[in-house]
Copies of this chain bind each other. A is one copy, B any other.
């Protein structure tokens, strides 16, 4: 069995401008890893419709799932829903189910839905709503594209609602071994081990601490027996306990 694959599209001028450090990518990557969905690509793009449409179409054809964050609020720069409709060549309009959910957020219900608020009930035809337990305004899944808010607390609660509904793969297990040697001493023995285990992902991540060189060897696989086998070889190669 191979795991489902995924890409993420972060729609965020505020990240490209350096104003905000993205949090959603790190959170999604961790959750997908546990769920057994392999995140293979992330794109951070500006909120320009041609860029959003092109990124959605490029990734939805290539991966089993595409997760987007950002651009589904009520303001002029919230254009993600329209771009998804354009990418899929479907109509978009205010949908009653989304409108009714949104209304529960306001004192006078439907009456309080100003035109700005109603923008958040505009859903591309054929999409399924994603629940938002924090501020009600729903996200949606259009085929394999899952559209979520950019505010990290809302993004996380939408992902937590959505993920159990997506087919699980085998959880990617990882193990990290710290080697206090410069990477150039590690490279050759590690290359030999990597060649011996082509199905295990073996990465070397160097660090510098107090002028000392070292690296974390990260071993990743869905099979714990393979991880143990590689761990033993790494420990033997570098004379670790």
Contact = CB atoms under 8 A, between A and B. Distances in A.
Interface of A: 13-22, 25-26, 28-33, 39-47, 51, 73-77, 114-117, 119-120, 134-135, 150-151, 153-154, 172, 174, 176, 183-188, 190-191, 194-195, 201-208, 213, 215, 218, 220
Contact of A13 (B42, B114, B116, B201): B201
B33 A18 contact: yes
A94 to B, nearest CB: 14
For the complex of A and B, list the 3 residue pairs with the smallest distance between their C-beta atoms, beginning with the closest.
A18-B29, A116-B187, A18-B30
Given A15-B25, A20-B205, 17 more contacts: A13-B203, A13-B220, A14-B203, A15-B29, A16-B39, A16-B42, A17-B33, A17-B174, A17-B220, A18-B30, A18-B39, A40-B45, A42-B43, A75-B186, A115-B188, A119-B187, A135-B213
A178 to B, nearest CB: 14
A190 B22 contact: no
Contacts of A213: 135
Contacts of A18: 26, 28-33, 39
A16 B29 contact: yes
Nearest to A33: B18
A16 B31 CA distance: 11
Pick the most buried of A16, A51, A188, A208: most chain B CB atoms within 10 A of its CB: A16
Contacts of A22: 25-26
A171 to B, nearest CB: 12
Given A26-B22, A208-B151, A114 B17 contact: no
A26 to B, nearest CB: 4
Contact of A14 (B134, B191, B218): B218
A73 B190 CA distance: 13
